[in-house]
Amino acid sequence: MKTWVAALLYAVLSAITVVVCFPLLWAISTSLKPKSEIFRWPPTLWPENITFESYRELLFGGAVASAPGAGVPPSAYFLDWFANSVIVSVGSTAISITIATLAAYSLTRFRFWGQRAVPYIAILGYMVPSVIFVFPMFLTMVSLDLTDTLLSLILGYVCITLPFCLWLMWAFFRGVPIEIEEAALVDGASRLQVFRQVVLPVALPGIIAASIFSLIVSWNDYLFGRVFMNSMENLPLTVGVMHFFDGTHVDWGLMMASSVLMTLPMAILFGFMQRHLVAGFGAGAVKG
Amino acid sequence: MTDVVVRGLSKSFGSNNVLKALDLLVPSRQFVTLLGPSGCGKTTLLRLIAGLERGNGGEILFGENRVDHLPPGERNIAMVFQSYALYPTMDVARNIGYGLEVRRIPKPERSEKISTVAKVLEIGHLLLRKPKQLSGGQRQRVALGRAMARRPDIFLMDEPLSNLDAKLRSAMRGELRRFHLDLGTTTIYVTHDQLEAMTMSDLVVVMNEGIVQQIGTPEEVYSKPANLFVAGFIGTPPMNLFPATNSDGFLKVANTTLPIQISSDLPRELVIGIRPQEVSVVSTGEPGAIPGKVWMVELIGSERLIEVEIAPKLRITAEVRAKHRAAIDDHVAVRLDPTHLHIFDPVTGKALSA
């Protein structure tokens, strides 16, 4: 490639990177500013005085006794919300992935009526916006007496993530040659051993990809949390942090610190898993 | 040691009858090739013997024991797949040792067996690699090593050489044959490549449309084909097969009565088979030769193929030395060597004796 083409390419890519990363950098910057600096004009790109006040309030605010009669500040619930988000994301992902993996495997390996249609119907279901599902599902939760419980969110997220996870795993298993399973059967492995020792390791990149998808969808969801949950202590993070707005003012410091803390787990997870996404693909096992 | 006996084995996929009441005896310690065109049922038969498919009728015995109800892992067989089917996430050593691992052979013993096999196959330096880091020939060896490590009673091989390039394939043919002689394990080998079948086998089983056409040594299926299918399938270039009549004990081809005596008991309508190597091209007017016109000439290295049209749409191919000159549309005659003539019944296709 010619040097100037490369230079131009890098310039464009750098510009895009800045645009994409700026909100995150701004959030980090704001979260570290003292309250007096947040609204200063012209704004400072990087805080003159770094303070961890907002983080301290979020992470340890629950332990601070509030002034009598002032009620509990929303920041005291932050750790509850965080735990709720972790529980519902991990819970719904575990359920989705387990069902999707087993279902996709059977869809590619066993013959039964409607076998070809199932993945397509599933992906069709995923294409319907979740807004359409949320109220019928809310009414179902009401009749099951599950509203305002983490279980209702877990079930809700399974409904929206399962179809795509199933599709992803199905596409993945279709690429896993059946001969390697037959070879293992001939080698004397039981069906279960074949699945655990031969199929699952090969499917791992697919499982990781589907898990990341499912975790991100349920971690970032706002709609289901807003509709299904009421009590302060049961909210997921996305809905909870909205309480930093109140009628009169917005606590941008807390807001931005929460955003940073919310982004962190997903960023760490992605950085860690990315390596596994490409590793171990079945390519090369069978002629190639 | 283990004979493989197949009795009345049938298999159909839907309405497609792939195997039709097939009988077969594979004697212990022999290298037996199932040879036939694609779709003849040879791979299905192998998979049934492996236990990867269940038959719709009939039985399979290893020695005295009926095995058709056993899962593949309990038949003590090893199989080499066309695609090699190595476990992509395991390194070469674990690939080879996996059969021992699931049988709970202790690790030291397992390692010893793996290194023995690796040594024989000259893949000792590859043991820590993953399959995708290997070349086609190396994968082939690992697949073979996986089959050998367990010391199975029977080797089943499904076109194991077809993904290799021509040079490697011919080298591996010799090696496979050598391994078989050293190990003496009963081997059933599926191929559509008659060269593999002819060069490697003790016995060749020629199959077509789910039926065994002929079982014999490579020499037998080549020189004494049991029927028209085998005659046409074995040999390159293929055998000339053309209609002839029994004219009072003499053979008559395209209006020429040949000085070739046959039994007058034979039916009037016959099909004659003769290999191109047993046909000579002579000048017209020679007694006992069939006159015709050169239709096509092809040089195939040291030999030349001359196709002679002896009647409309009826051509006989002769394989002659390359120095033999013939030009298209030359008037020539072909002479058939009577000692290498095959006679078939046009209705049943069966070989008849002259």
Complex prediction ipTM:
0.85
Q: Which residues pair with B261 in a beta bridge?
A: B250
Beta carbons of B262 and B336 less than 8 angstroms apart: no
| Of the residues B200, B225, B250, the one at which a domain ends | B225
Q: How far is A122 from chain B (nearest CA, A)?
A: 29
CATH number at residue B186: 3.40.50.300
Nearest CA in chain A to B50: A186
B219 shares a domain with B250: no
Q: Is B144 left (phi over 0), alpha (psi -120 to 50) or beta?
A: alpha
B117 shares a domain with B42: yes
B100 shares a domain with B69: yes
Give residue-wise pLDDT tens across range B166-193: 888 888 899 899 999 998 999 999 999 9
Nearest CA in chain B to A283: B132
Q: Which residues pair with A198 in a beta bridge?
A: none
Pairing of strands B16-26, B4-13: antiparallel
B244 shares a domain with B220: no
Q: What is the pLDDT of residue A236?
A: 94
Q: How far is A164 from chain B (nearest CA, A)?
A: 25
Decide if B98 and A190 are in contact by the 8 Å CB cutoff.
no
Decide if B50 and A186 are in contact by the 8 Å CB cutoff.
yes
Q: Tell me how far apart the alpha carbons of residues B341 and B351 are, in angstroms, rounded to a whole number.
A: 11
Nearest CA in chain A to B78: A186
Q: What 3-state DSSP class applies to B80? A: strand
B251 shares a domain with B219: no
Pairing of strands B250-253, B256-261: antiparallel
Domain around B53: 4-225
Touching check for A247 and chain B: CB below 8 Å?
A: no
B207 shares a domain with B63: yes
Q: What is the pLDDT of residue A286?
A: 42
User: What residue ranges do the domains of chain A occupy?
Assistant: 3-74, 77-278
Q: Residues of chain B whose pLDDT is less than 50?
A: none
In a domain? residue B234: no
B25 shares a domain with B128: yes
Q: What is the pLDDT of residue A276?
A: 64
Residues of B in contact with A190 (CB under 8 A): 73, 102
Name the CATH topology of A77-278.
Answer: MetI-like fold (1.10.3720)
What's the gap between Cα A194 and its chain centre?
30
In a domain? residue B232: no
B333 shares a domain with B186: no
Beta carbons of B51 and B224 less than 8 angstroms apart: no
Residues of B in contact with A282 (CB under 8 A): 88
DSSP A250: B
B118 shares a domain with B266: no
B347 shares a domain with B259: yes
In a domain? residue B213: yes
Q: Mean pLDDT for each consecutive 10-residue tract of chain A (288 residues)?
A: 89 94 90 85 83 87 56 84 95 96 91 86 86 91 94 94 91 89 94 92 88 92 93 92 82 90 89 66 38
In a domain? residue B235: no
| Of the residues B195, B225, B255, the one at which a domain ends | B225
B107 shares a domain with B18: yes
Touching check for A198 and chain B: CB below 8 Å?
A: yes
Residues of B in contact with A193 (CB under 8 A): 102
Number of domains comprising chain B: 2
Residues of B in contact with A199 (CB under 8 A): none
Q: What is the pLDDT of residue A288?
A: 35
B283 shares a domain with B186: no
In which order are the strands placed within the sheet that holds B65-66?
B16-26, B4-13, B57-62, B65-66
| Of the residues B225, B257, B286, the one at which a domain ends | B225
CATH number at residue B298: 2.40.50.140
Nearest CA in chain A to B97: A187
Give residue-wise pLDDT tens across range B296-327: 999 988 899 999 999 998 999 999 998 888 89
